[in-house]
Amino acid sequence: MTFWQVYGYIIVEFLFEYSVFAVLFLCKLSRRKKFALRAVLGFALLFAIGLPVALFYQAFGGTVWGRILVYLFLFGVFTLFAIGCFEEKYSAVFFCCGMAYAAQNLVYKSYLIVYTVGEQLDLYQDWGENFNLYYRIMYYGIFALFAFLVWFFFIRNITAKLKTNEIDNRMLVTAALVLGITILLCSIEDIAFAELCVERENRFDDPIYYILRHTGNLFSCLCCVIVLLFASNTIVKNELQKENEYFKHTIRQGELQYRISKDSIELINIKCHDIKYKLDALMAQGDFVPESVKALRDSISIYDSKIETGNQLLNVLITEKSLYCEQNGINLSCMIDGKKLDFMASGDLYCFFGNIIDNALEAVKEIEEKNRRVINISVKVKNNIILVQEENYFNGTLTFEDGLPVTTKGDKTSHGFGMRSLRMIAKKYGGELTTSVSDDIFHLNVIFVG
């Protein structure tokens, strides 16, 4: 091959393919200032560096170590280029670049499997002088198809849940291993089969060579698929672990908040009760106008009211939330048979109903119409089935994902745990949680089998 053929068909083509997957993996990382300028200059420098690399490839690309050095060097240069464009930890950039290499190799080897089958069946014999043109059309068409499939099944799942601060040593070692294995396998395989080809690349006169070529390609694909699946599963596991830690923290905070609220409400009730007696005494002495005393008694009556649900924890929680609702013009209606919920641990119970009410409050406090600032909560029992229901009005529209409403707050990584915590608690006690919307009313239903 001439120098320009080596540069165009090997170096530039590899950089282009690799860049496609690197962009897909890196696109959600935090960018540095003047990102566009950095990216343009970086790509220009990258393809310029490809010129001396092509010279090296032309001289030593026929050896295993020569090819290994070429692809390792290109990977290293691209990683440095990415570090210059993205304001993230080096480990995060290296991980994304490593996964991009795995994806690129998976697509390339998948193409080789398809192409080599065609050679084995003599499908390209009629291409004649237009062989190179048809080959490129076929190559880029199949590349685009497989690239989409890899993005759909692997990349989008990884990048959607990728938190750069959660990339651990196992993931970095995996990225390094796949990089080393794919480069080594590709180099050895390509050199060995290049010597066995007749007429053109990947065409053999002995059927056994086709079998060996397919075996090598399939093994490379399998390695890349395993690595991408491992990365995806590890990221999901890290996310679940983070949610579980948050869930446990919420339960602990709920238990602490319950004790504080219980003591505070008991103290308020005692003080309000004493004030009522003192008002009665002053009124008996004739020191106050009766109408003024009545208005004062009415104003503090809410703080001396006791809500009875049959469960002390729920009494405290509902009382606390009722005070907030009273101050903010929200009508909180509760019909709760709390005795039927004794099977739940106190922390779980406080977190469960606390989240239900807090989510509803977030929705109704944005509503201006007084008659729509309403929250209804009920706990009913029928045929050993405990049904928890909550309804509230809301403004705007709700988007659902995995059966749960997506948080409307801007920071979706810090918010949205409330509904997932509810589902986790429900499943912990063998329950099922469902949510739905009818007109402008949000419905939440949880079923426990007694």
Retrieve residue 421's tokens: 């915590």
Res 273 pLDDT > 80 = no
* DSSP-assigned beta bridge partners for residue 333: 376
Look at residue 107 in the predicted model and tell me its pLDDT: 94
The residue written with tokens 């290499």 in the block is 101
The residue written with tokens 């692809």 in the block is 71
* Side chain identity, residue 312: Q
Mean pLDDT along residues 320-344? 85
Res 412 pLDDT > 50 = no
The 10s digit of each residue's pLDDT in 142-174 is 999 999 999 999 998 888 777 655 677 777 787
Retrieve residue 117's tokens: 């089958």
The 10s digit of each residue's pLDDT in 199-257 is 888 899 899 999 999 998 998 888 888 888 888 887 777 766 666 666 665 666 555 55
Res 302 pLDDT > 60 = no
Retrieve residue 133's tokens: 């043109």
pTM tops 0.75? no
Mean pLDDT along residues 333-352? 86
DSSP class of residue 130 equals G
Retrieve residue 324's tokens: 């907030």
Chain length of the chain: 450
CA distances from 395 to 360, 391, 405, 412 (A): 12, 14, 14, 19
Higher pLDDT among residues 413 and 7, named by residue: 7
Measured distance CA(395)–CA(304) in Å, rounded:
33
Look at residue 257 in the predicted model and tell me its pLDDT: 59
Which of 251-255, 320-324, 395-399, 418-422: highest mean pLDDT?
395-399
Q: What is the mean pLDDT of the chain?
A: 83
Q: Name the residue ranges covered by the structural domains of the chain.
A: 3-246, 308-449
Q: Which of 103-117, 333-347, 412-426 has the lowest mean pLDDT?
A: 412-426
CATH architecture of 308-449: 2-Layer Sandwich (3.30)
DSSP class of residue 289 equals -
Give just the sign of the alpha carbon dihedral 290, 294, 295, 299. Answer: positive
